[in-house]
Structures are given as structure tokens and as C-alpha cells.
Structure 1
Amino acid sequence: MPSLSIDSHCHFDVAAFDPDRDTCWARARDAGVGAQVVPAIDRYHWEKVRDVARRYPGIHPAYGLHPVYLDRHQLGHLEELADWLGREQAVAVGECGLDCFVEGLDFDDQWTYFTAQLDLAVQFGLPVIVHARRAVDKVTRAVRERPRLTGVVHSFSGSRQQADKLLEQGMLLGFGGPITHPRAQRLRRLVSELPLEGILVETDAPDQPSASHRGERNEPAFLPEIIHTLAQLRDDSPLNVARATADNARRLFQLPASSDD
């Protein structure tokens, strides 16, 4: 099967894949997933992300400090991130962002780490991979203050109005397993209406499994279910959706035309 699709957000480095990473990678390739973007969540995952990307063709690393893991971060990690981006290949800064859902996360501290990473993305000419849970308006404000910034808000769950504002700023929106759940009517309606050139597809594996894999470990090989659902909701063909979203990912992350590179 040709490698047509790109998983724009997958945590293929985490321990959940340690027992069978080789097999999972092969399954993804057999399913037509030719590339994955793998964002780190904290300083202690950067080496693992780098090593996984070096070992497996089509794996592209991003490095950042995730807001949910605020207790693992130190301000010195921002300086280390700048040094790391200066010497290691990366397709994006992230996963970074804001989370106003999880209790106990100091917002001011989140804002400090988030905006510093946005500035690093501008400095290095890289896109950002943004986590925005109950924080889309705040994220949009930060993005608007940096006109040269590009990136994706992954696992987007905001309104059409919020989506349009981000698209106007040149951001893309990532959608994954949640759109396969029939009860997610508002989200499913949103992805049926948005311009296809503003959409990326993702698994967020090992989290957020699609409807047919509820309760299981998610993995990149399940991306075709998301593509098929998106195509069905848009009255489009899976082939066209796979190609268009892969083209979007290549443009944003400056990925090579060949998924094996």
C-alpha cells in the first residue's frame, strides 16, 4: 500500500510502545501511514524522541515542554531547549500550550513556558505544536501577537468562530479519534465545514483512540479510521483526504516529499 497519509501528532517515543515499537511502526507503514510527527512533552523525553526519529524512517521529531507536565519543568529547560534546537534537527517546537482543564496547574507559569516557546519557534523559523484545552482564546491571543508564527492546534475542540480566527492567523487545526465518536456531533459538524487546507489528521497515540478501538492503546496504524471518518463527514474520498492532509503537513513542517527521508 502506498504511504499516503501523515500522522501529524503521535507520541511514538513513550513507554507504551517500548515492548513492540518495531511491530507498531511496520503496522503503520502497512496501513499507509508514511510519516509521523512526534512531539516531546518534557526535557527528559528529548533524547528518546531524537533516538526514535533516527531509528525509524518517516519519524520527524519536535521538542518542547507540555503544560500538563508543569511540575517537571524548570526555567533552565527553556535555555536548554534553545541550545537543543540549535544543534538538533526538528520540524517544530512542541508540544507546548495551555491547559485550563487540569486542576492545580498555575496559569502564570504555563503562560511563561508557552510564550517563551512561541518566541523560540519564531527565532528558529519553526512551527509550533500547541495543546489548547479550554484555552483556545488565550492561545489565539498569544499567536496573534507573533505574526510570523505558524503551527497547529492539535486535538482542536473549539467553536467554528475560534477555528476561523486561528485559520486567519495561518494556524492549522489537528483532528483525531474524537471525530470518530458519533456523540461528538458538534465536532463532527465542524470538521465537515472547515476548509480542507486547514486540517491535519492525527492519532495522539497512545491516547485518544478512535471509536472502534475504545479502551485500547492507540497507535499510528489506526489513522486510516480517522481519515475515513473525515471523508465520510465531508462527502469526500478517503484518498483525497489522505493526500490533502498529508500535503498540509508537508507544507507546515517542511517534510520531504518522500516519507522514507
Structure 2
Amino acid sequence: MSARAALITGGTSGIGKAAAQALHSRGYRVAVTGQRPESVARAREELPEDVLVLQADIRSLADTDQVVSEVRNRFGSLTTLFLNAGVSRPVPLDVCDEAAYDETFAVNTKGQYFTLVKALPLLTDGASVIITVGIGATRSLPGNSIAAGSHGAMLAMIPTLALELAPRRIRINAVSPGFTDTPMTRTAIGASSPDVPATMAEMAERIPFGRLATPEDIAGTVAFLASDEAAYVTGQEIVVSGGAGLSS
């Protein structure tokens, strides 16, 4: 039996990078993608040297074709596809414009969907597909309507996709992080707050567990969904939020 192999979009920082490290430590061959050159360069320095790090814009179907081709050449097949690339920028309704809307849906919905479409021939029977959604898709967060809609669209697709993939025993599930301490989170907070650490501390006080999630908290759930222990789990959403969103 060939070794397990995983492709992780948005895998050069934050949750995706932590998932790459978690799966690699479990014996997976791993490929990750990232868009920003600086993030890609850092990942090449910090991830294990046998991790395949590719620069790609998930909005570009041509880039996705190239990623799939390189993964095919390196691994031959995939046992795990972690669709983690995403953008989340607070955009209040009264200042929203078409460009912000189009970019968010191009990454969070179109990009993720067509990565699955194009990677499907590489997925082995019994493979695992995992999609990062986030609690904002189903819980009210001011200024989050566009991001919620884009992630929510993927969440709505999962039951149907689970049935379509079931004949090959391919599982597809969502992992929905709560507030997580990632570079993207810090950047989003910094766009509206002059004191990012203080704002994050205030956010942590509103979480029942008293802290923000770490990328490793989410990566552990991803590793479970990729494993044989989750072989009978499909069409589901697992929320990893430390209790955030359970009370008003």
C-alpha cells in the first residue's frame, strides 16, 4: 500500500501549516500551497524539507491545474485533501463593494470547489476531504456577511457532495474553527484596531475556555478527520471553538 499523501491549500501559514506539520509527523507525504511569496518562502524554510511547497493563487484554475499536475508527479495519488485557503476581512454592509465581494467568493467558494473538482481524479477510494469553514458561517459576527456567505455556500454543498462521493467511500467533512490566533486573524483585527493584543485578549474573555484557539488545536481535528478513526464520518461539520457561539 502506498504511503498516505495530503494536499493542503492555504498551507504555508496558520492552520494549514499546523495541519501540514501534524500530518507529516504521522507519516504523510505532504504538499501545501500558498499565494504570498513571503509566506511560501518562510514555509520552505520552516516545514520539513520533504514537504512540497507550491506557490499558487487558488482563484486561478490554471494555477490549480499546475498544482494538481505537480502533486500527481510527486505522489501519484492523494488520500487527503484539506481545502483550507481562505480570506476573511470584515466588510460592513455600508462600505461593501463589488471587488471585495468577488474576491472573497473567488477564494472561499469558487477556488475551493474547483480544487476539489480538479483533484478528484487523484483521490483514492476511501480518501478524506476536509474543508475549513468557520463558526462565522452560522453565527452572527458584525461585518462578516460576505465571508459568512462564501463559507456558508461550501457548508451547504457538503451533504450533497458526501452523497456523490459515497460510492467511492470518499468522506467529506467541514472543520469550523472559532477565533484562532493566526496571521490572518491578527491582520484582520489590525485593520480595525490600533491594539491587536488587547483586542485579542478581550475576545478571549468572551470564549468559555478563556483563550483563542491555536492552529494546532484545529490541526488535531483535521488529523482525526484524515485518519482511519474517522472512516465512517462524512457530511458533517465539527466545530472547534472552545465553546464560543454556544451562548448569546
Q: TM-score, normalised by structure 2?
A: 0.42
Q: TM-score, normalised by structure 1?
A: 0.40
